[in-house]
Structure 1
Amino acid sequence: MTRHDEQTIAEQAIHWLLRQQEGMTREEQQAFERWLQTPSHQAEYEDLGGLWQQTAAIPAAAVAHLRPAPRRRIGWRPMVATCALLLLAAVLFFPLRNTFAPPIYSASWHTGRGEMRTVQLPDGTTLSLDAGTQLNVRYFANRREVEMPQGQVFFQVTHNPSQPFEVLSGPTRVTVVGTEFRVRYLPHTMSGEGSDVAVRSGAVRVGPRGNWENRWWRAMQHLHITQAQRHISVLHASERSLTDAEGRLISRSTLPAESIAAWRDDRIVLDDTRLDMALAEFARYGDVSLKLNSPAVAALRISGSFDTDRVDSFANALPRVLPVKIKSIKNQSTVVATGMTLKNN
């Protein structure tokens, strides 16, 4: 989906929100229901609806000058601008409402090397934890929050627009209302220094972790500020995004649904991955006795799907796809470049 498409959906959502406030004709109601059947449309509309409700907390005097004069017909663009300004006010000045309320549910989990676990939350949401994952879950009256200091989780979120679901992963905040998606935050691994998010179904919003910063860029996105695209984006089915260590979006791509949470099927999916990073990924599930002989060998790249517990099968495949061979050096299996002079010192 292009940036223009996302902005068009945002404008359409604002249009329908305004029409709902003013009252729709039967034809408009039918058109609105057809428009809402698209998941991305529904996600955008529900998100805007939540922000719109927050404007009720703004003192009337603070926004009176932003509202159109009574009984004055205004064009589509001025209406969008007025609504956007109201949303901006709600986003920037009232983000802390209910922030300090105690959680109504909390729990924590941790998985060790090679350990995978599936847990179900009170609302029916299912979490599939990969090896080496730390997870803290807190439910509040108006939101559901998961903090993931490290690891990889596949989320199957129960739909509840009145209680949005957020994942805080490294420098990134992922917001959904009901979908299936994967979040990975494992610095110094093949996914880089930021967060790796991929969607199987539905839609999620990926942006900076900080609440104020996230809301700011959401507002800038609705106001069509170009710079917002570097900081916040909406992902749909079979889309993946990567952020850097500061939470900025650095790439967006598509990927097959079966590779989104391959570890659930005991698989590691490598996509043009450095060989040293590939071995580090295997080491998350068990012992890896394979050694790389040089930085040049470590920098070789490989793609494919492999069993998480069959590093031996992975090693046997290397000479068939890379210019390397496996040698026994000091009783240890070592990957060396073809034709490399071995030094036994």
Structure 2
Amino acid sequence: MSKSPVIPDFENFKRDIEEIFEQVAPHTEGTPDEDLYPEGLENPPFAVSICTIDGQLLQLGDHHLSFSVQSISKPINYGIALEERGEELVHRHIGREPGAENFEKGMVLNLDKLPHNPMINSGSIMSGCLIRPDWDNEKKLEHVMEVWGKLCGGKTLLFDQKAFEREMKASHSNFAMAHIMMENGAFPENTDLQKAVEFHYLCCSIGVNIDDLAHAAATLANYGLSPTTGSQVFSHKTVRDMLSLMLSCGMYDHSGQYAFKVGIPSKSGVAGGLIAVIPELMGISIYSPPLDKHGNTVRGVKFCEKLVEKFNFHKHDALFSNVHGKKDPRIDHRKR
């Protein structure tokens, strides 16, 4: 007896997603990151890709375009560090609380003199230090890209050299932050700051398309098991920890509002990408470069807001049964 798809009426679900896509598409406000898109974008692309934990795929818009992962690398590097070094050691060097990197208010580090969490630049630099610390950056990057390839269904990903060079030219604030971390004893002993900051930017410059990210998000939704290859990329415990911090810290200074309103573990990047993970159901990826004042993709945030208006995907929607009239695509209404 064959197992039923997690979304039994996928065509009906697809129509609903297409409707949301069309509602969000006109929102072209926002500004692309000037380091990555120095000439701006006259007609900014928009793409959505959804992959379920059993491999059903929905693609809309400019899903063939490639871009750099940027801060979407942060939960992945955190997961790799957890797998290789263990939770106790990782969190000797990185906190777990939401927090902004505000130089003007002296809030670069938390009260324990550590990066607030792994989802911001200081925490990402630290996560990278904890991955294979004895290896050079070239070998470390190959290792991280292999993990990304497994997350994306066995694909070989490319490196975006242009994005890396542009980011390194604008790296002064992250080097300043790394020096503050070093001064406060946050780093492991014998850390090379140049190597640490450079590796952060190397990981941010991994090239993907929207379908790659949907597969990666679906792997996290499937508790680390790739829906296409069956490879166990991360342990259940590691994925739980990754999703917990994506929910509380994944959307920069908008994280609290986003968790309140959307309630889906998500991570955005300044190239315009965003992943959203609905455990035991699907991974969602969105690409649209214009950013809001927090550095999140405008269309990506609006898409996720409309998604939870239509479907019971907010983390706490289950508390209310169907009192708000939201759809549950897990249920096959054709049989009623």
**Same structural fold, with TM-score higher than 0.5 when normalized by the shorter chain:** no
Tell me which interval the TM-score lies in, with the shorter structure as reference length.
under 0.3
Write 1 or 2 for the structure with the bigger share of helix.
Answer: 2
Give the structure-2-normalised TM-score. Answer: 0.24
TM-score (norm 1): 0.24
Higher strand content, 1 or 2: 1
